[in-house]
Structure 1
Amino acid sequence: MLSTSELGARGEHIAAAYLTDAGLRVLDRNWRCREGELDIVAREGRALVFCEVKTRRGTGYGYPVEAVTRVKQRRLRVLAQRWLDAHDEHAPDLRFDVVGVLVRPSRPALVTHLRAAFS
């Protein structure tokens, strides 16, 4: 059985592959600053996309995408601004997506991608 950190890393790997297959270009993964961490930063056309990835083994505590609370959304907005301050990337549109990964035994992971999940 995967540890929690291994499960999270696996989910982020699955999410990055999913986003790449969907046409997004991943710019950064696991970017950290004092306030926290951004899981994935990507570009899709004219938009910079900040993706929060949530991975679960089951739905006993709800679906993975439901774990992004208003508090987490506020933190992600701050982290996005920190990332923008630290990088020479510009885009007319900023978007916050949530990618939920449900890891299922003996079956492919179930990926849910909520585009523009919050603003």
Structure 2
Amino acid sequence: MAGKDDLGRMGEELAARYLVEKGYAILDRNWRCDQGEIDIIAWQGGEVVFVEVKTRSGLKFGHPFEAITTAKLARMNRLAYAWCAQGSDRVPRIRVDVIAVIAPHGSEPQLEHLERVF
């Protein structure tokens, strides 16, 4: 299990660096509440962006985006609103993005970013 956890942390770190390089400001990472966890919360272009990161070492069990089901998106939406409800500031707009990281052993990781999936 530690290997899977390490791979996930590495993927989230790569995703956060990628977002910063693209001009996003990271607001929070691994935010948790009783309903679940959001991997990355960022600010970009007047929007709060809630990012789900899926990392795999290969495609044997499918592309990481295949793990994003309608139930997962609905949960992300609920979590996003829970995060927004904590703050005193009005959030103008929100969106949910997904980042896939494929990191084969001994090879350079590949990153794909889908914006506005929800």
TM-score bracket for this pair, using the shorter chain length: over 0.9
- Per the alignment, residue 91 of structure 1 pairs with 91
- What residue is the counterpart of 1:17 in the other structure? 17
Q: CA deviation at 1:17?
A: 0.4
Unpaired runs of at least 5, structure 1:
none
Moved more, 55-64 or 88-97: 88-97
Q: Distance in 2 between matches of 1:58 and 1:94?
A: 31
Amino acid at match of 2:84: L
Q: List aligned pairs for 1:31-70, cutoff 5 A.
A: 31-70=31-70
Query: Matched residues in 2 for 1:99 and 1:61: separation?
Result: 17
Structure-1 separation of matches of 2:15 and 2:68: 16
| Distance in 2 separating the partners of 1:52 and 1:87 | 21
Query: SS of 2:52's equivalent?
Result: strand
What SS does the aligned partner of 2:62 have? Answer: coil
Q: Aligned-pair distance for 1:114? A: 0.2
Structure 1 contact 46–91 (Cα < 8 Å) conserved: no
* 1:116 aligned counterpart, secondary structure: coil
The C-alpha deviation readout for 1:82-103, integer Å capped at 9, x for no partner, is 1001124543221110000001
Give me the CA root mean square deviation.
Answer: 1.2
Q: Cα gap change, 1:94/1:3 in structure 2, threshold over 3 Å: closer, same or farther?
A: same
Please list, as runs of the form range in 1=range in 2, the aligned pairs for 1:72-111 lying within 5 A after superposition. Answer: 72-111=72-111
Matched, 1:27 2:10: no
Rounded Cα–Cα distance in structure 2 between residues aligned with 1:14 and 1:20: 10
TM-score normalized with structure 1 length: 0.92
CA contact (8 A) 2:26 2:41 kept: yes
Overall identity of the aligned pairs, in %: 40
Larger CA deviation: 99-108 vs 48-57? 99-108
